[in-house]
Amino acid sequence: MYAMRKELNQYRQTGHLAEVTVADPHRLIQMLFEGVLERIAVARGAMEHGNIRLKGEKISQAITILNGLRSMLDHDQNRELASNLDALYEYMALRLVQGNARNDASALDEVIRLLREIKAGWDGIPEMLRRTAAPQQVAVAG
């Protein structure tokens, strides 16, 4: 749980402190997904407007959040799922680096599509399972 809150530091800096403080583990993961998607969207806009500094800053923040999601995977709960998500998050970070270096909006769009798909699955977890799952069980799907 400590690692999860640590990775949400980006949200604390943007006025989401109250929500982070009271959020359950499922909601914290949702917030990370929202945060990474926001940062990629801003980076994409910065790319279109030629703002190299902002693009790099937001891509770096997005990668930090992806690394946070990776660090919260519980490989003991479901080794295969956690390994697959770990590899996917690593791939997304690589695509963000490539998109930044090559000024390639399609790389950022690819990551956005992948994240939206994962987030949709995460958001689809029934409320009953959210309440009954232990934090480490919830984190495996993140």
Considering only CA atoms, which of 142, 35, 13, 26 is closest in space to residue 81?
142
pTM: 0.79
Q: 72 or 108: which carries more pLDDT confidence?
A: 108
> What does each C-alpha distance from 38 to 44, 103, 118, 126 come to in angstroms?
10, 18, 15, 25
3-class DSSP assignment, residue 41: helix
Question: What are 63-104's pLDDT values in tens digits?
Answer: 999 999 999 999 998 999 999 999 999 999 999 999 999 999
**CATH topology for the 2-141 domain:** Four Helix Bundle (Hemerythrin (Met), subunit A) (1.20.120)
Q: How many CB atoms lie within 10 A of CB 15?
A: 8
Q: 49 or 130: which carries more pLDDT confidence?
A: 49
